[in-house]
Amino acid sequence: MTSIDFSRKTVEMIDVVKKFGDFVANDRISLTVHKGEVHALLGENGAGKTTLMNCLYGLYRPTEGKIRINGKEVVITDPNVAIHHGIGMVHQHFKLVEPFTVTQNIILGQETTKMMGILDLAAAEKKVSEISEKYGLTVDPRAKIEDISVGSQQRVEILKALYRGAEILILDEPTAVLTPGEIQELVTIIRNLTAEGKTIIIITHKLHEIKQVADYCTIIRRGKFIDTVEVAGVTEHELASKMVGREVSFAVDKRPAQRGERVLAIENLVVKDNRGIQVVNGLSLDLHKGEILGIAGVDGNGQSELIEALMGLRKVQSGRIRMRDKDITNASPKQIISEHSICSIPEDRQKRGLVMEFDVAENLILENYQRRPFSERGVLDHQEIYKFADQCIMEFDVRPQDAQMTAKSLSGGNQQKVIIAREVSNDPEVLVASQPTRGLDVGAIEYVHRALVEQRDRGKAVLLISFELDEIINVSDRIAVIFEGRIVGEVDAENADENNIGLMMAGGRV
Amino acid sequence: MKFTAAALKEKILKGSLGFTLISMVFGFSLGAIVLLVAGFNPIQAYWEILKGIFSKPKYMSYVIIYATPLIITGLSVAFALRTGLFNIGAEGQYIMGAMTAAAAGYFFKLPMVLHVVVAVALAVMIAALWGGIAGYLKARFGVNEVISTIMLNWTALYLSNFAITIDAFGRSGTGKTYTIQDTAFIDILGHWKRTPEGIEFLRNHPMLWDILKSPVNLGFIFAILLAVMVWYILNKTTLGYELRAVGHNPFAAEAGGINVKRSMVVSMFIAGGLAGAAGAFQVLGVSHRIAKLAVMEGYGFDGIAVSLIGNNTGPGCLLSGLLFGALKYGGSKIQDAMNAPTEVINIMIGTIIIFVAMPKLIRLILTYKSRRGVK
Amino acid sequence: MEALVNDLGFIIGTTLMYSTPLIFTATGSVITERSGIINIGLEGMMYFGAFVGAAVAYFTQDPWIGFLCAGLAGAFLALFHAIATVTFSAEQIVSGIAINFLGPGLALFLSRLFFDGATQTLTIPNKMPLPLNFLFGDGKLFASTGFMDLVFNQFATVYLSIALVFVAWFFLYKTRLGMRLMAVGEHPEAADSLGISVYRIRYGAVMTSGFLAGLGGAAMSIAVVSRFSNTLISGHGFIALAAMIFGKWRPQGALLACLIFGGAKGLEIYLGAKGFPVPSSILATLPYVLTIIILVGWVGRSRPPAAIGKIFDKGEA
């Protein structure tokens, strides 16, 4: 905390307003950051944190308000101007060109050249190595992006900004994809950077990270400025209630599980990813009636492929999946849904979950359009379809209450409700939920968690996959940790120790 | 659903129909500019086109005859497009259908109605398989259907030319096949109008006589039926639901249990069958034979335009097919009347399509107008 | 033996001649697709280029001016494709289809105006030169007939097209602009966030592809034959597109693919001339069937640019 130079304000955003049409994403937000400071920007999904930072980085032009950099008022029309003023940004979804090398990605837009625009990659590689050594950001400058880990990709993004001479670094949700170990490395890197006089702004909604790394924290709620606080002087709970605007309970309200017989058994499962690399490596798992089994793990350890294989969307190379003692390995998605009664809330609701151009009613029958009463002898019965839709809309509280709205005009939370309505009304024996709360606000998150618990209380089995360890611990009855395509440990949620699970998620032994 | 005048206006202006109408205004305006620059009077040219379409009953029936195959190939393209597939291959499927219908019409000796049914059914089947190949190649090997259907077009063209060189089928030296059997004709009053009684009757009924001078046939009736069928399948059946789901989002469709690969093959199969029907009706109703092709006749390519301008729906294709037929037939008149190149029609069609492809631009123009209106 | 060598020379020679228009167009197609824009309007651009090339070469009596104007004509059409797809987020295939109506429409419209209502131009007075012709003939380095003449005494366009492939390769892999162009085709948001103008690069790439397609059309109308006619360009643009895919979006791969298609054409002509006992119509299907077979075997293993066909909209900034 000694690195802060309070005499120098590097970033001042004053009464910034950003409107998209009639929607006000940022409503008079002010922010001051000093040299050498780590400043956290806290808010729920959709609160307007990233929009504000995109204004600072020149991706958006603020509708109103002023921005000062190092005391001078500036107009940041595009990222080039931001870069010129020493601002660098690491986006939540990395902006890296996959088939390019680390060096090519870093120099893109500010290439080292010989005469006539011919590239000089050797000089570039040397420069990249120099910077990476200075800040302890180890990467292989010649490796291709598609071949390196997510943690390394993030280091490339930071290097990209430093290569451009960034003095102010914006990190958008930097820990979302990292293992606990990698998060520790990132914290070290951030300390190195502030020691060198860099200013860091972190966008996040994770409270313990703010406590761990930030000096000051600005809280935004629904586009409005709430407060700026010194992190050392507040508790996580205080931060949380400022973020949400009311008291929040982290714990999910639920009774103890009534665990029944085994329904689903996965044995020695092997699955390859799109590139043909084996990402599920002999995974075994049991799921029982009346329990929520949470799978904890960092993104990219085979979770997506495991679920796709389970749902019949990806070929199983070897191993076996059994449902109620029937072999369902490599069965078709249709058989798995209708005959074997496994339904899923997919991780990417816009890609796998919904036909965005279809209306709510059409989306609700996606798995059942061939059955009565929705159709008979190949002809759809629209009256029945809309009757069912109206029923679902009431029961699952989808808003607006209009079965003819297209899915794409609904908010993320309501889209998720449509999917949950569809899957739960199938009354499945096993409900698979992958990242079911990603991108949702607190209210919607509580709704989803309640729905999962209700399903469990009705004696059904629930398999929950999430990259948020808090969610896994709060919702699950039993926790299995996945690492490099295997289950490396199992614990009861009752006596789960976050540190132990974190260690297992990173491949360490407990 | 409100049906007030304001709601209707809103629907027309902001909906796809409005976009299409505005695009047409652009197309016709650009055609006028091109004519003007080339030294022709655009008003006179458009007047000639209008006269060439509406001034005689015969002209109107020619418009319908011109439009018939375009409507059906348009339906073919539209059907595939709703499943997310670009059927550039309607041309080749049309050729396969025409060739099969010509062969079945000539070689088979069958009673009247049955002969037509058999010839059309065979043509549809062969063309459906031809389209299905592209669907299969996409589903099984990931071959882009745009490329594969284009290659299949040329393959079909040369196969058809080859068929004509077979002695039993083609009249040697003419580059044409033998005329199909009378039993396979679908002309309206085709025989009667050439009998003495028919000629006598028509002499007293000049209007009917004028219409029957053109090769009027049942094809247009079938085209209407097919347009209704396409609309029904897409919107009212589980098959249509599946195909549309795949077209909008194959990943969600797959996760929902729909067999995406099968849908691709089925969609291209049906699309191929439709284009084949277009070829069959043209042979049975208009040409009664096939001829050697030096280049593509363009029924399939024009069908793409028909589909796009018709917003890829059944009824839309019917209307835009008629528009296209009228422009093609009426447009040919300006060549003789004022020596103006008839290809201005293609320029107009191309312009309409490029504007149809840019709803963003049209929306921009509309909001600009309304914004100015407020101030 | 000598006859056999000469036959081989004939096949190679016709292969080169027929490949050339495809090589120009396919190379252009590589450039535009690498920037993320599909151009199926290549056919219309070739068609228009073929007409403008022949018409200008006829009136100026200079094939080079004709050749250049053909490129400009292709680029002119490409400008519309760029406006539609880059600026106004049009569906790229649909816009390409529109170009395929506009190109032939404009070409035939102008042809009727300038050539007395005909849909073909008159024969041009001067074809493309044969730059190495001075090496062939009596008392020269090579005989005026035979293998060497058939293979190496080609139109200037043939050499140009091969040189173009090298230039395109160098441009894409060795220059700053080439790297930026590929970045735009893979990840436009990344390029944009680094201050690279996605729009400008895509405009440049689409218009380059139009220019090269125009040259490809002219390579047909003022070198392979010596006039434009309404049946001259029939599917070449689409075959060039297939060649680009078969060549895995790389200039050198596209060159190879074009040579294979040209070779199929050369073989077709050779076998036809030799009275090979297969009907000419069946032989004529060879390049097309071959394309499909090759695509079945190859496409699965190649990867198109990640952002191909996707709309990039910077949004309101």
- Give the number of beta-carbon pairs within 8 Å between A and C: 73
Interface predicted TM-score (ipTM) = 0.88
Q: What is the pLDDT of residue B171?
A: 85
Report CB contact under 8 Å: B148, C40.
no
Indicate yes or no: CB of B343 within 8 angstroms of CB of C112: yes
Q: Are residues A221 and A324 in the same domain?
A: no
In a domain, A300, yes or no: yes
Confidence tier at A445 by pLDDT (50, 70, 90): confident
Q: In terms of DSSP bridges, do strands A5-20 and A23-35 run parallel, antiparallel, or are they unpaired?
A: antiparallel
Nearest 10 degrees: Cα torsion B69, B70, B74, B77: 70
8 A C-beta contact, residue C183 and residue C196: yes
Kindly write down the DSSP assignment for every residue of B331-373, as one continuous string.
Answer: HTHHHHHH---TTHHHHHHHHHHHHHT-HHHHHHHHHHHHHHH
What φ, ψ does residue C98 adopt, rounded to 5°? -60, -40
- Name the nearest CA neighbour of B63 among B72, B48, B73, B53: B53
Instruction: Report the interhelical angle of C236-246 vs B145-165 (nearest 10°).
Output: 130
B168 close contact with C: CB closer than 8 A: no
Q: What is the dihedral of CA A485, A487, A492, A493, to 10 degrees?
A: -10
Domain total for chain B? 1
Asked if residue B257 is part of any domain, the answer here is yes
- Check residues A78 and C316 and name the one with the higher pLDDT: A78
- Smallest Cβ–Cβ distance between A83 and the set C180, C187, C195 belongs to C195
The answer to whether residue A166 is domain-embedded is: yes
Q: State which residues form the domain around B219.
A: 66-330
A39 in reach of chain C (CB within 8 A) = no
Window 311-330 of A, Cβ < 8 Å to B: 311, 313
Q: What is the reported pLDDT for B370?
A: 59
CATH number of the domain encompassing residue A439: 3.40.50.300
Residues in chain B within 8 Å Cβ distance of C104: 343, 346
Which residue of C180, C187, C194 is in closest CB contact with A79?
C194
Of A219, A244, A269, which residue sits at a domain end? A244
> C89, exposed or middle or buried, with CB in 10 Å at 0-12, 13-18, 19+?
middle
| pLDDT tens string A461-486 | 999 999 888 889 889 999 999 998 99
What is the pLDDT at residue A318?
95
**Across chain C, what does the average pLDDT equal?**
90
User: What are the DSSP calls for B176-245, one per residue?
Assistant: EEPPPPGGG--BTTTTGGGSHHHHHHHHH-HHHHHHHTS--BTHHHHHHHHHHHHHHHHHHBHHHHHHHH
Q: Buried (b) or exposed (e) across C6-24, using 16+ Cβ within 10 A?
A: beebbbbbbbbbbbbbbbb
Residue with more model confidence, A214 or A243: A214
Contacts of C184 (CB under 8 A, 6+ apart): C35, C36, C191, C196, C198, C201, C202, C307
CA dist., res. A374 & res. A378, Å (int): 10
List Cβ neighbours of B124 (8 Å cut-off, separation of 6 or more).
B97, B273, B274, B276, B277, B280
The alpha-carbon radius of gyration of chain B (Å, integer) is 22
Hey, is the C-beta of C183 within 8 angstroms of any chain A C-beta? yes
Rounded Cα distance between A300 and A297, Å, is 8
Q: What is the spatial distance between Cα C109 and Cα B348, in angstroms, rounded to a whole number?
A: 12
Residue range(s) defining the domain that contains residue A50: 5-244
Write out pLDDT tens, residues A249-277: 556 778 888 899 999 999 999 999 887 88
User: From A55, which residue of chain C is nearest by alpha-carbon distance?
Assistant: C317
- The answer to whether residue B11 is domain-embedded is no
Distance of alpha carbon A431 from alpha carbon A433, whole angstroms: 6
CA distance B220 to B71: 9
Residues A358 and A507 in one domain: no
Tokens of A420: 């949950």
Give me the amino acid identity at A127. K
Rg, C-alpha atoms of chain C:
20
Q: DSSP characters for A234-276?
A: S-HHHHHHHHHSS----S---PPP----EEEEEEEEEEE-TTS
- pLDDT tens digits, A115-136: 888 999 999 999 999 998 888 8
CB contacts of C316 in chain A (<8 Å) are 20, 60-61
Q: How far is C88 from chain B (nearest CA, A)?
A: 6
Encoding tokens for residue A110?
């500010």
Asked if A421 and A469 sit in the same domain, the reply is: no
Candidates B155, B161, B308; nearest CB to C288: B155
Find the residue in A nearest to C315 (Cα). Answer: A60
Band of pLDDT at residue A447, cut at 50, 70 and 90: confident
Tokens 């979302």 sit on residue: A176
Q: State how far the Cα of B181 lies from the Cα of B172, in Å rounded to an integer.
A: 19
Closest CA to C66 of C81, C56, C80, C76: C56
Query: Are both A21 and A155 inside the same structural domain?
Result: yes
Only one residue has tokens 């069609």, namely B349
pLDDT at A379: 95
Q: Is C169 helix (H, G, I), strand (E, B) or coil?
A: helix
Residue with tokens 């970045």: C183
B347 contacts C109? CB cut-off 8 A: yes
Helix (H, G, I), strand (E, B) or coil at A486: strand
Option in C190, C195, C317 nearest A97 (CB): C190
Name the domain count of chain A: 3
Contact between A487 and A478 (Cβ < 8 Å): no
Residue-level pLDDT at A63? 92
Q: Are residues A232 and A264 in the same domain?
A: no
pLDDT at A89 over 80: yes
CB contact under 8 A, A369 and B238: yes
A348 is a domain residue: no
Q: Is residue B39 part of a domain?
A: no
Kindly state the tokens that stand for A430: 């096993």
Q: Residue B123: how many CA atoms within 13 Å on its side-chain side?
A: 33
Q: Does A147 touch chain C (CB under 8 A)?
A: no
Do A90 and A21 sit in the same domain of this protein? yes
Does A201 lie in the same domain as A94? yes
Assign residue B187 the CATH number of its domain. Answer: 1.10.3470
Contacts of B145 in chain C (CB under 8 A): none
User: Which residues, other chains included, contact B353 with Cβ-Cβ below 8 Å and sequence gap of 6+?
Assistant: B23, B305, B308, B309, C94, C95, C97, C98, C101
Residues A158 and A39 in one domain: yes
Phi then psi for residue B340, to 5 deg, are -90, 135
Q: Which residue of A has its CA nearest to C177?
A: A117
For the segment A34-56, what is each residue's pLDDT rounded down to a tens digit? 999 999 998 877 788 888 999 99
Judge: A353–B252 Cβ closer than 8 Å, yes or no. Answer: yes
Cα–Cα distance list, A160 to A84, A126, A137, A280 (Å): 14, 14, 11, 33
Q: Does B337 touch chain C (CB under 8 A)?
A: no
* CB of A251 less than 8 A from some CB of B: no
Q: Which residue did the predictor score with more confidence, A346 or B194?
A: A346
Give the CA distances from residue B40 to residues B342, C106, C156, in Å, rounded to whole numbers and listed in that order: 12, 15, 40
Residue A251 included in any domain = no
Residue C137's pLDDT is what?
76
User: In this structure, are A422 and A477 located in the same domain?
Assistant: no
Does the beta-carbon distance from A369 to B242 stay under 8 Å?
Answer: yes
Q: Which of A369, A375, A384, A385 to mutate to test the interface with B (most CBs of B within 10 A)?
A: A369
Please judge whether B245 and A311 are an interchain contact, meaning their C-beta atoms are less than 8 angstroms apart: no
Q: What is the DSSP letter of C175?
A: B
CA A196 to chain centre: 30
Q: Does B236 touch chain A (CB under 8 A)?
A: yes
Report yes or no on A11 lying in a domain.
Answer: yes
CB B89 within 8 A of CB B153: yes
The neighbours of chain C, by the rule of 3 or more Cβ pairs under 8 Å, are A, B
By DSSP bridging, strand A316-323 and strand A326-327 are antiparallel
Q: Identify whether residues A405 and A504 lie together within a single domain.
A: no
Mean pLDDT to the nearest integer, C18-37: 96
Q: Are B88 and B153 in contact (CB under 8 A)?
A: yes
**CB-CB neighbors (< 8 A) of A106 in chain C:** none
Domain stops at, among A244, A270, A302: A244
Q: What residues in B contact A405, CB-CB < 8 Å?
A: none
Residue A248 banded pLDDT, cuts 50, 70, 90: low
- Chain C: closest CA distance from residue B132 (Å): 14
Name the nearest CA neighbour of B19 among C91, A302, C231. C91
DSSP C124: P
Looking only at the bridges linking them, the beta strands covering A168-172 and A87-90 are: parallel
Q: The tokens of B257 are what? A: 């249990």
Question: Within chain B, which residues score under 70 in pLDDT?
Answer: 1-15, 368-375
What gap in Å lies between CA A124 and CA A106, rounded to an integer? 9
CB pair distance less than 8 Å for C190 and A99: no
Q: Is B256 on the interface with A (CB under 8 A)?
A: yes
Question: C151: which DSSP letter?
Answer: H
Q: Which residue of C has its CA nearest to A90?
A: C193
Residue A228, burial from CB neighbour count under 10 angstroms (0-12, 13-18, 19+): middle
User: Do A476 and A405 lie in a common domain?
Assistant: no
Query: For tokens 């935004």, what's the residue?
Result: A220
CB-based contact A358 B248, cutoff 8 Å? yes
- Does residue A349 belong to any structural domain of this protein? no
Average pLDDT, chain A: 89
- Asked whether the predicted pLDDT for residue A298 surpasses 90, the reply is no
Query: B314 with B229: CB under 8 angstroms?
Result: yes
DSSP H helical ranges for C35-60:
42-60
Asked if the structure places residue A252 within a domain, the reply is no
Q: Which residues of C touch A80 (CB under 8 A)?
A: 195
Q: For residue B50, which phi and psi values (nearest 5 degrees)? A: -60, -45
Q: In this complex, do A97 and C186 lie within 8 Å of one another by their Cβ atoms?
A: yes
Which residues of chain A from 193 to 232 reach within 8 Å of chain C, CB to CB? none
Q: Is the dihedral of CA B366, B369, B372, B374 positive or negative?
A: negative
Question: Which of B354, B366, B367 should one mutate to test binding to chain C, selecting the residue with the greatest count of C CBs within 10 A?
Answer: B354
How far is C148 from chain B, CA to nearest CA, in Å? 34
Round to whole Å and give the CA distance between A11 and A198: 12
Secondary structure (3-state) at A510: coil
* Residue A15 host element (H or E): strand A5-20
Concatenated DSSP letters of B154-184: HHHHHHHHHHHHSTTTEETTTTEEPPPPGGG
CB B255 within 8 A of CB B103: no
Residue A288 domain-assigned (yes or no): yes
Q: Which chains would you list as touching A if contact means 3+ CB atom pairs under 8 Å?
A: B, C
Domain boundary (A410, A426, A442) is at A426
pLDDT at C316: 47
Chain A hits for C186, Cβ within 8 Å: 97-100
> Domains, chain C, ranges and CATH?
2-301 (1.10.3470)
Residue B337 domain-assigned (yes or no): no
Structure-block tokens of residue C274: 């030799």
Distance from CA of B154 to the nearest CA of C (A): 7
Residue of B282, B318, B241 lying closest to B127 (CA atoms): B282
Judged by a CB distance cut-off of 8 A, whether residue A421 touches chain B is no
Other beta carbons within 10 Å of B68: 26
**A374 and A505 belong to one structural domain:** no
